[in-house]
Amino acid sequence: MKKIVILACNMIRNGNLCPGDAKCLVAFMRREGEFERYKDEEAAIVGIVDCGGCEGNRNRSVVSLGHLNLQLAALNEKVDVLHIGTCMANFCPRKEDILKAVKEKAGVEVVEGTHKYAPQTIF
């Protein structure tokens, strides 16, 4: 079974723009968007963490993921794939810097994006 972690935007999660990570979780359940790749296999989301916020440095994402990894290790769980949330993949001005840091340290496949539910226009 594939074990998945999602890295999401702190501002969007905490600003109630995506309460409860609903879009990512529904997309995973339906195997839509970037989760379509798991339609023919067992997979589970074992964690969702945020980037640490815009005011921090790129290493806050790495620290957040490292802390989650410690918690999962205590539960005998191991991450196979890290998804960068659509919130970060589409809207984060620091995305490239964060992606570089995460890819250097992750040691697992990194996938950009989760769902395709972002509206095309505001009106």
14 is a domain residue: yes
Q: Residue 4: which of 85, 101, 99, 63 has the closest Cα?
A: 85
Question: What pLDDT does residue 57 have?
Answer: 64
Please determine, for residue 4, whether its predicted confidence score (pLDDT) is greater than 90.
yes
106 is a domain residue: yes
119 is a domain residue: no
Q: Which tens digits make up the pLDDT trace of 66-115?
A: 999 999 999 999 999 999 999 999 888 889 999 999 999 999 999 999 99
Q: How far apart are CA 46 and CA 40, in angstroms?
A: 19
Which phi and psi angles does 42 have, rounded to 5°? -75, 135
Q: Which tens digits make up the pLDDT trace of 39-67?
A: 999 999 999 999 888 876 668 899 999 99
Domains identified in the chain, total number: 1
H-type alpha helices, the chain: 10-14, 22-30, 59-74, 86-91, 95-106
118 is a domain residue: no
Question: Strand 81-84 vs strand 109-112: parallel, antiparallel, or unpaired?
Answer: parallel
